[in-house]
Amino acid sequence: MSSIKIELRKEDVDKINEICDSFGNEQSELINVLHKTQEHFGYLPAEIQEAIASKLNIPVAQVYGVVTFYSFFTMTPKGRHPISICMGTACYVRGAEKVLDEFKKELSLQVGQTTPDGKFSLSSLRCVGACGLAPVVLIGEKTYGRVAPDDVQDILKEYQ
């Protein structure tokens, strides 16, 4: 399922059980459980999915099927400064692809990857609804609007 192997500590398992309990261990609440779990751990590795499956009493395959279906869920940890470039249509026609290329070049990263030091991760997303500021880049909670490829170096410097 994933190349990363982690060992869950007891408190981690307790946390997962607590989240499942808070949704009444309802199988139909799986997506809400995954949201809460990812919010806590930052990502959903295989081991966490197994713990959720056993607690909700459903096959791991079902959990895995849901995790991989939705783009919001990730099985690899995000960087400390996750960079998301909006590739919605409005941003695209205003040059988002060139901005994305610049980030790829500056960080030597592909979309979906995290830098080895765990500092930055790169992803593209579809429309954040701030089309007036297109092209839009999000780093963590911060929004950068009307980004040009030339701005990329300066933006990254803020996180050095």
Partner 1 sequence: MHLLVCGGTSCRASESALIAESLKRELEEKGLGNEVQVIMTGCFGLCEKGPVVKVMPDNAFYVQVKPEDAAVIVAEHVIKGKPVKRLLYVNPSTGEHVSGSGLMGSYRKQIRIALRNCGSINPENINEYIAREGYAAIGKCVTEYTAADVIDVIKNSGLRGRGGAGFPTGLKWEIASKNQADQKYVVCNADEGDPGAFMDRSVLEGDPHSVLEAMAICGYAIGATKGLIYIRAEYPLAIQRLKIAIGQARDYGLLGNNILGSDFSFDIDLRYGAGAFVCGEETALIHSMEGMRGEPTNKPPFPAESGFMGKPSNVNNVETFASVPVIINKGWEWFSSIGTEKSKGTKVFALAGKINNVGLIEVPMGITLREIIFEIGGGIKNGKKFKAVQTGGPSGGCLTEHHLDTPIDFDNLVAAGSMMGSGGMIVMDEDDCMVSIAKFFLEFTVEESCGKCTPCRIGNKRIYELLTYITKGNGTLADLDRLRNMCHVIKDTSLCGLGQTSPNPVLSTMDNFMDEYIAHVTEKRCPAGSCRDLMKYTIIEEKCVGCTACARGCPVNAISGERKEPHFIDQEKCIKCGACFERCKFGAVLIN
Name the residues that contact partner 1, by CB under 8 A. Answer: 26-32, 34-35, 62, 65-66, 69-73, 87-90, 92-94, 125-134, 136, 143, 145
Mention every residue, 6+ apart, whose C-beta is less than 8 A from residue 99. Answer: 85, 135, 137, 147, 148, 149, 152
* 75, 43 Cβ separation under 8 angstroms: yes
Neighbours of 24 (CB within 10 A): 8
- Tell me the closest approach of the beta carbon of residue 107 to partner 1, in angstroms: 17
> Which CB, 29 or 151, lies closer to partner 1?
29
Name the pairing type of β-strands 142-144 and 81-86: unpaired
- Tell me the closest approach of the beta carbon of residue 53 to partner 1, in angstroms: 12
> Which CB, 117 or 150, lies closer to partner 1?
150
> Which CB, 69 or 117, lies closer to partner 1?
69
- Tell me the closest approach of the beta carbon of residue 131 to partner 1, in angstroms: 4
> Which CB, 14 or 70, lies closer to partner 1?
70
d(CA 136, CA 96): 8
> Which CB, 14 or 101, lies closer to partner 1?
101
d(CA 127, CA 3): 30
* 114, 75 Cβ separation under 8 angstroms: no
- Tell me the closest approach of the beta carbon of residue 134 to partner 1, in angstroms: 7
- Tell me the closest approach of the beta carbon of residue 25 to partner 1, in angstroms: 12
Q: Which tokens sit at 13?
A: 């398992």
**Which residues lie across from 20 on neighbouring strands?**
none
